[in-house]
Structure 1
Amino acid sequence: MALIQFTGTSGRTSGELPEVGNSAPDFELTKRDLTQIGLEDFKGKKVVLNIFPSLDTDTCAQAVRAFNSLAVEVENTAVLCISRDLPFAQSRFCAAEGIDRVTLLSDYKDKGFAEAYGVRFVDGPFEGLLARAVLVVNENGHVIYTEMVDNIGKEPNYKAALEALQND
């Protein structure tokens, strides 16, 4: 379990991120067109998992914008932005912000992703939502980088994630 700080309070997650070197757990998430997709669908590509509570917060929205910009810097890479936001809200956000290089995915249906990756808040003000985290998975499906952001108001370390992609 990770302890994540909020303004004046904190919340715990349901578990720990997968360890570097381990295989990334497969998952099934919902795309903006309401179809399902899994990690297996990105086999042979590097994958960045940008996980966050909601597009309706400034920090989360900024992280999606940042990863949208960074997505073009590394070939053969898919950037997945994952939250519990409904696909309809994700579509509105992408249209309003010109987000077109990342794939927004929702864990609103079966919630198995949150448990497999240990990112579901089990208490605190964001209980039930996803914690802010970044994982990088190589072409062979192994985790090569993880970051659980320890304060919900902080952005992830984009530079470290990008370096992991480039140095693998």
Structure 2
Amino acid sequence: MSQVTFKGTPVQVAGTLPSVGEKAPAFTLTGSDLSDKGLDAFAGQKKVLNIFPSLDTGTCAQSVREFNRRANELDDTAVLGISMDLPFAQARFGGAEGVDDVVMLSAFRHSEFLDDYGVRIADGPLAGLAARTVVVLDADNTVRHVEQVGEIADEPDYEAALKAL
């Protein structure tokens, strides 16, 4: 278990983050068309997993916008926006914001993802959602970068994540 803060108040995060150098846990999540999408759907590509609590917060929305802005400059890389938001909300946000270069995926049917990646917020007002975390994988699904943002209301270090590619 780790600890981060939400607006300065400590909250516990259950599980253990993947470690740099290890293979990423396989996962299944739900796409905007309600189909299951696994890690294998992005085989042969590098991956940036932008994991966040909800698109209904300003910081989460900004992180998706920023990764979307930078994604079109990345070769052979899939940027995945992962939250517990329903696929309908993710699709609505993507359409309204012009998010074309981030694949939105929901853990609403596959919450084991939160445990497998060590990002489930265990207490506080956001309990059950994902802590803001960025995991970068190479084309072979080896973890190259992990950042669990210490203050959930802060944005991730985009430069460090993209440098790991």
Shorter-chain TM range is: over 0.9
| Matches of 1:6 and 1:128, distance apart in 2 | 14
Per-residue Cα deviation, 1:116-143 (whole angstroms, up to 9, x for no partner): 0010011111100000000100011100
Per-residue Cα deviation, 1:17-63 (whole angstroms, up to 9, x for no partner): 10000000000000000000011111110000000000000000000
Q: TM-score, normalised by structure 2?
A: 0.98
Residue 145 of structure 2 is matched in structure 1 by: 145
Greater percentage in strand: 2
1:73 counterpart SS class: coil
Gaps of 5+ in 2: none
RMSD, aligned α-carbons: 0.8
Q: List, as ranges, runs of 4+ consecutive aligned residues in structure 1 with deviation greater than 2 Å.
A: none
Q: Which moved more, 1:10-19 or 1:154-163?
A: 10-19
Aligned residues: 165
| Matches of 1:71 and 1:8, distance apart in 2 | 31
8 Å contact kept, 2:68–2:99: yes
Gaps of 5+ in 1: none
Asked whether 1:23 is paired with 2:11, we answer no
Following superposition, the deviation at residue 75 of structure 1 comes to 0.3
Per-residue Cα deviation, 1:46-95 (whole angstroms, up to 9, x for no partner): 00000000000000000000000111122000000000000010011011
Residue 82 of structure 2 is matched in structure 1 by: 82
Asked whether 1:62 is paired with 2:62, we answer yes
Residue 110 of structure 1 is matched in structure 2 by: 110
Residue 52 of structure 2 is matched in structure 1 by: 52
| Matches of 2:78 and 2:85, distance apart in 1 | 20
Alpha-carbon distance change, 8 to 140 in structure 1, aligned in 2, over 3 angstroms? closer
Percentage of pairs with the same residue:
53
Residue 135 of structure 1 is matched in structure 2 by: 135
Residue 124 of structure 1 is matched in structure 2 by: 124
Q: TM-score, normalised by structure 1?
A: 0.96
2:121 counterpart SS class: coil
The amino acid that maps onto 2:119 is V
Following superposition, the deviation at residue 110 of structure 1 comes to 2.6
Following superposition, the deviation at residue 8 of structure 1 comes to 4.1
| Matches of 2:8 and 2:44, distance apart in 1 | 43
